[in-house]
Amino acid sequence: MRTTYRPSTVRPSTVRSSAFRCSVFRSAAGAVIASLILASCGGGDGDGTSTAPPITPPITPTTPVYTPPAAEALSSADVEKILAGAISEANARNLPSVIAVTDRVGNVLAVFRMTGARADATASPAPNGQNMDVQNVSFPAEAGAIAKAITGAYLSSSGNAFSTRTASMIVQEHFPPAPTTAGLESGPLFGVQFSQLPCSDLNTRFGAIGSAALVGPKRSPLGLSADAGGFPLYKNGVVVGGIGVMADGDYGSDANVLDVDSDDEEFIALAATRGFEAPTAVQADRIAIDGTTLRYSDASFAGVRTNGGNFASLNGVVGNLVVVTGYSNGAIMGGAIYGSEASGVRAATSSEFGISGAYVLSNGAGANRFPMRAGTDGASVPTPLSMAEVQAVLEEAYGVMSRARAQIRRPLDSRAEVTISVVDSHGSVLGLVRSPDAPLFGADVSLQKARTAALMSSVRAGNDLLGDPSADVRAFVGATRTFLNDMSALGGGTAFTARAIGNLARPYFPDGEVGRPHGPLSRPIGQFNPFSTGLQSALIIGNLAQHVAFVTGAGPDTPARCTALPDVAVGQNPLQNGLQIFPGSVPLYRGNILVGAIGVSGDGIDQDDMISFLGAHNGGAKVGGIGNASTNKRSDNILVQVGAGVRLRYAVCPFNPFVGSSQQNVCQGL
């Protein structure tokens, strides 16, 4: 059996001692980092201003730390070959399918509908039948196939290959998901399925940027998928796209990784990857988290019934290329070369970012979409972040990343690769940078995490949520205040990180412990599944419903504005691409005044926490005046009266995190 787990290393997920703030929690992946111990970060100088010297020695700005991936892309002929492989396998299994192919930045290169394929797919219902959000909802099968393809592409890199089966394993309420693992923590990327949303203001849209048609990262019609049948595609060891198959009408997740499924959709998608399969050395089943080996595929090439086919002889005979409103014009096209201007993800110029080799998101015509700038929230804070302060935080966070040992990349001792976003207290983007080969999903997620920390730490948080037109959304405010026994909660008195908000957004509190109450930002366990997490999903269900109607031709598209929260500035709400509930962000303060937040995503949640926490600390130390929240303001001061008492978390940092260094406890006392 490929999947193993060690409850002794995974189980101690919470701290119940009110005095024990920096604690040992879990082991991490791989032989080199098997004893990676995680400690909660506390300390500081008491007023939110960083005065201690930076932890990280400066890196040389003129010497790139990372090697960019080689220039590879799918050609139109490649796409035809991939489609033919899937169509032939679907024919052999007598299962007419909808098949989608994307490039690495999410451009839909083709969608093929076989004659007789199901028109729709339906998301899994709630366990107790009381369906909320996206549970038991039907949508076009094309949307499911595209979401699967984007998931395979976006979660993967040259150092890791994740499939939609991998995604299923890491987003559920217990990790690893199985009947025998009840009581373990939730998956490390719990909540990531509600990223890349069709309403996101970061992700681009088909045909929306003039002649720059291939600019990404593109949005997904359903966010990321946890339904088997999606894989990344590779050329010469470089991820170049994804394949997604929707055929059985069931859009769900695998609740038991201890058995091996025989899933026709997965076999069909795997057949399509022949010649474009992920290198064995980086597939998810070579990667472990918390002592648990991830799952890549329950299908194998030994079980594939065909050996490819000829697209010209299949097209128009067993089905046709189809138009998908908002995603594809019904033709086949070649993909963008990742790293090129046309792809929308490219190397930064020296004037855009001071560290050589960093990447930014571009508009396809040479302009950085998210250049560094000063805060826009002067109406709310006395002294907004300056451009120099934003630059310092981004550069210092990038420096920490470049030394950090990756959690999900191979080979072992690779350097972490992530996306880093900084926002002001309104959620406006003040800068975004990334390493060359960071997974694409982290661009949107890093911004979600930053905005989550900024909003939920602000004086507006409760009132903004109470201003949502949905009574369901509004109810989470009262539930949180009652749960924390604090009627002023969500009023700016506490600095919340994405990790802390995630603590409150789990269907068991403490995380994973069966029989405990659900967190106040979560659905009760009887209503919970990956398609309905709680506040996170409630905030955007209207956007998803509007977009699905648009794809079917029944109405206008959702605006590039997730949630119906009140505007914090004209035309902008504070969660413009959605809320995120897994770790990797901290709020930024000037003294005790919230001025923004930093979010990080892409290479392990504890690495994300460390990069954001030390980036804030080191950036503040570099310029003076800003930094992490004071210790008495942080969420780990909150002791929830459940059982013997459970302390919320703030940030978690690996014990021995840097490549080529024995430095330990790097967040201790800051």
Q: How far apart are CA 340 and CA 366, in angstroms?
A: 10
Write out pLDDT tens, residues 383-440.
Answer: 999 999 999 999 999 999 999 999 999 999 999 999 999 999 999 999 999 999 999 9
Give pLDDT, residue 655.
86
Give pLDDT, residue 380.
95
Q: How many other C-beta atoms are found inside a 10 Å radius of the C-beta of residue 600?
A: 34
Asked whether 212 and 206 are in contact (CB, 8 A), the reply is no
Average pLDDT across the chain, whole number? 90
Q: How far apart are CA 99 and CA 144, in angstroms?
A: 9
Q: How far apart are CA 113 and CA 120, in angstroms?
A: 12
**Per-residue pLDDT at 33 exceeds 70:** no
Give pLDDT, residue 211.
52
59-73, 269-283, 332-346, 473-487: lowest mean pLDDT where?
Answer: 59-73
Average pLDDT over residues 277-297: 95
Average pLDDT over residues 326-334: 95
Q: What is the per-residue burial (b if ≥16 Cβ within 10 Å, else e) of 466-499?
A: bebeeeebbebbebbbebbeeeebbebebbbbbb
Q: Do domains 44-68+346-457+582-636 and 76-125+134-329 have the same CATH topology?
A: yes
Average pLDDT over residues 184-196: 97
The kind and range of the H/E element at 430 are: strand 429-434
Tokens of 277: 């399969």
Question: pTM for the whole thing?
Answer: 0.92
Q: Which CATH superfamily is domain 44-68+346-457+582-636 in?
A: Haem-degrading domain (3.30.450.150)
Distances (CA, A) of 535 to 194, 200, 449, 455, 596: 11, 17, 14, 14, 22
Asked whether 322 and 330 are in contact (CB, 8 A), the reply is yes
DSSP of 138-152, one letter per residue?
EEEHHHHHHHHHHHH
DSSP of 252-299, one letter per residue?
---S-TTS----HHHHHHHHHTTTSPPPGGGBGGG-EETTEE----S-
pLDDT-based confidence at 112, cuts 50/70/90?
very high
**Per-residue pLDDT at 242 exceeds 90:** yes
- What is the layout of strands, in order, in the sheet containing 359-361? 345-347, 359-361, 429-434, 419-424, 593-601, 585-590
Give pLDDT, residue 34.
29
548 dihedral zone (left: phi>0; alpha: psi -120 to 50; beta): alpha
Give pLDDT, residue 57.
54
The helix, strand and coil proportions of the chain, stated in percent and rounded to the nearest 5, come to: 25, 15, 60
Average pLDDT over residues 347-364: 96
Asked whether 573 and 210 are in contact (CB, 8 A), the reply is no
Share of the chain above pLDDT 70, in %: 90
Give pLDDT, residue 25.
29
In 7-51, the DSSP E strands lie at 38-40
Instruction: Give the max Cα distance, the chain.
Output: 71
pLDDT-based confidence at 62, cuts 50/70/90?
low
**Per-residue pLDDT at 28 exceeds 60:** no
Q: Which residue has the higher pLDDT, 630 or 30?
A: 630
DSSP of 398-428, one letter per residue?
HHHHHHBBPSS-SSTTPBP--EEEEEETT--
Q: How far apart are CA 456 and CA 203, in angstroms?
A: 23
Exposed (0-12), middle (13-18) or buried (19+): which is 571, by Cβ within 10 Å?
Answer: exposed
**Per-residue pLDDT at 11 exceeds 90:** no
3-state SS assignment for residue 634 = strand
Share of the chain above pLDDT 90, in %: 87
Give pLDDT, residue 207.
81
Write out pLDDT tens, residues 151-162.
Answer: 999 999 999 999
Give pLDDT, residue 22.
33
Q: How far apart are CA 478 and CA 53, in angstroms?
A: 41
Amino acid residing at 130? Q
Alpha-carbon torsion, ordered 385, 386, 387, 391, to 10 deg: -60
24-38, 229-243, 363-377: lowest mean pLDDT where?
Answer: 24-38
User: Which of the 8 DSSP states describes residue 362?
Assistant: B
Give pLDDT, residue 290.
84
User: Which of the 8 DSSP states describes residue 633?
Assistant: G
Give pLDDT, residue 14.
32
pLDDT-based confidence at 55, cuts 50/70/90?
low
CATH number of 76-125+134-329: 3.30.450.150
Q: Tell me the domain boundaries of the chain.
A: 44-68+346-457+582-636, 76-125+134-329
Write out pLDDT tens, residues 520-551.
Answer: 999 999 999 999 999 999 999 999 999 999 99
Give pLDDT, residue 60.
54
**Backbone dihedral angles phi then psi of residue 529, each to the nearest 5 degrees:** -155, 180
